[in-house]
Amino acid sequence: MPHIVIDKIKNLSFPIKSENCEFLFQAENLIAVKTENAKFLIQIRPHKNGYLIKYDKITRPIISEIKKAYLDFVKINEANIIFENISGIKEKLPNKNMLEITDDLSNVDIVEVGFGSGRHLIHLAKKYPDKLILGIEIHKPSIEQVLRRIEHEKISNIKIINHDARLILSKIPSNKLHSIYVHFPVPWDKKEHRRVINSDFIKESKRALQKNGFLHLRTDSENYFSYSLEKFLEEDKIDLNIKKNIPYEITSKYEERWIKQGKNIYDIFMKSLEISPEIKEEFDFSFEKRLINLDFTPKVYKNFVIHLEKEFKINEKDSLIRATIGHFNRPEHIYIVNSDKPYYFKIPAPIKENYLAHLELKRLFNG
């Protein structure tokens, strides 16, 4: 982790403007920094030779911004650097084929969930050269491998998001998608709540699909097949088509293994037969008044969690609250500056579960 050790720290009063940064406030051992391109926290820890300065993982920006903050922090303290490991660290360029959950997804035509080795994802890109394909995957090594192939084969119609697919579909406009593919999802026989296919996912898929657009589930797990069929049948205005042991256009690595083992392969095609209403979700993450009566026990709701973890004092009245909010399986770590007009140090990703957690936070602590 890039860090520096400096010999002394002055008693400073914030905010302080320096050459490349603005140091906004101090909350115990955390200092809020703003540069032209980022807003984040750095941490100060006592060290046997002085003070260790490192970045805060939750708000971590790219390394060039961290370097600016460290160097300006040295200057405002008129300190000397005793140790540093930052000069040799090179910036990893953001990959043009990667998207973030905060990016606009309104141009996506096709979604593949959990693309693994990416064989089918690349097949889709070639089959539909005029469509934009979004691959959603939680496993970073798979993503890196597929990014290399995309670059090598000069494919320009694939974008990738490293996130839980169950949170992404709600960001896609209604009636937009040509198709959604979920091929060989992890069966999670003992942890059903982790399955990609669930009632919410099916509802969101149907909403995001064009009329006559389809979701294709392909699985080797009989259990997952029957469970999914039951969930699909909860939905109205759909056309369901089931197949067993029918070869598909392309065989994935997993499929090859299952076929060798003589396992059955099941397909479910769910076609959406109606035009869904547009979603106009404007997520307002503001607070009107100071959060009071803080309760630091984790709270678990049906679709989201709220866990206030720790409070760092800024002064007698104000504080910085570290918390985890949002989707039960993929909560977001955030900070709230709790003052007369509280605000998120960085606005949470604009997804439904974060917004529901935000509303509940206000209800709980604003009375």
Ligand X SMILES: C[S@@+](CC[C@H](N)C(=O)[O-])C[C@H]1O[C@@H](n2cnc3c(N)ncnc32)[C@H](O)[C@@H]1O
Residues in touch with ligand X (CB under 6 A): 113-117, 136-139, 142, 164-166, 183-186, 196, 252-254
- Nearer CB in complex with ligand X: 222/278: 222
Q: Which is nearer to ligand X, 90 or 140 (CB)?
A: 140
Q: Within its chain, how far is the Cα of 188 from the centroid?
A: 21
Nearer to ligand X, 65 or 137 (CB): 137
Token readout for 98 is 């990667």
Alpha carbons within 13 A on the beta-carbon side of 32: 20
Pick 4 or 265: Cβ nearer ligand X: 265
Tokens of 111: 């979604």
What minimum distance in Å lies between the beta carbon of 71 and ligand X?
39
Phi and psi angles of residue 225, each rounded to the nearest 5 degrees, phi first: -60, -50
Q: What is the closest distance, in whole angstroms, from the C-beta atom of residue 327 to ligand X in the complex? A: 10
Closest approach, Cβ 120 to ligand X, in A, equals 6
Length of the chain, in residues: 367
* Residue nearest ligand X by beta-carbon distance: 114
Minimum distance from residue 198 beta carbon to ligand X (Å): 10
DSSP string spanning 323-360? EEEEESSS-EEEEEEESSS-EESSPPPS-HHHHHHHHH
CA proximity to 111, closest of 147, 135, 146: 135
The least distance separating ligand X from the CB of residue 330, rounded to whole angstroms, comes to: 8
Residue closer to ligand X by CB (options 105, 291) is 105
d(CA 49, CA 35): 28
Q: What would the two tokens of residue 211 be?
A: 């009329």
Question: In DSSP terms, which residues pair with 335 in a beta bridge?
Answer: 322
Nearest approach, Cβ of residue 64 and ligand X (Å) = 30
Which is closer to ligand X, CB of 74 or CB of 196? Answer: 196
Alpha helices in the chain (DSSP H): 63-76, 119-127, 140-152, 165-168, 199-208, 222-232, 253-260, 352-366
